[in-house]
Amino acid sequence: MPCDEKDRNGVYYYENQCAIRMSYCLIKAGITLSNYTDPKCKHGYARGAESLATWIWRNFGEPEQVNCSNAKQKNDFLMDQYWSKNGIIFFKDFYGTNNTGDHIDLLYHVNRQILTATGDYTNDSRVKAIWFWEIN
């Protein structure tokens, strides 16, 4: 993990690492987070998935947005984008206290299979929205 600090009991300070890992990927790709003003770990990686997704939106443009309560919109996204394109995917409000937890990840395809770094939540009925930025 990019930010693998543990407390004296051996527990990771940042158990949820998706935003940290995505920040690491962005930095390795040559993208600077110098204007990212939300909380970071001591290594300079973003700590919040939604705040990082919002930063990506502000800096790289509006994502494809899917309202997951709209079955047709979600299905259209899955058929037209998800199964064929690579990019950054953000799942909004689906776990934790009052389902306010989020996840951000890389979405990529290898040999016609979908892969993410840590999790695919498209079938989780609690997900309220999906944001997607295609990367070529």
> In the chain, where are the structural domains located?
18-134
Let me know if domain 18-134 sits in CATH 3.40.1280.10.
no
pLDDT tens column, 72-129: 888 888 777 777 788 999 999 887 767 668 999 988 876 556 656 666 677 777 888 9
User: Long-range contacts of range 61-64, CB-CB < 8 Å, 24 or more positions apart?
Assistant: 61/133, 63/88, 63/90, 63/131, 63/132, 63/133, 64/131, 64/132, 64/133, 64/134
Q: In a 10 Å sphere around its CB, with 0-12 CB exposed, 13-18 middle and 19+ buried, how is residue 131 labelled?
A: buried
In this prediction the pTM is: 0.84
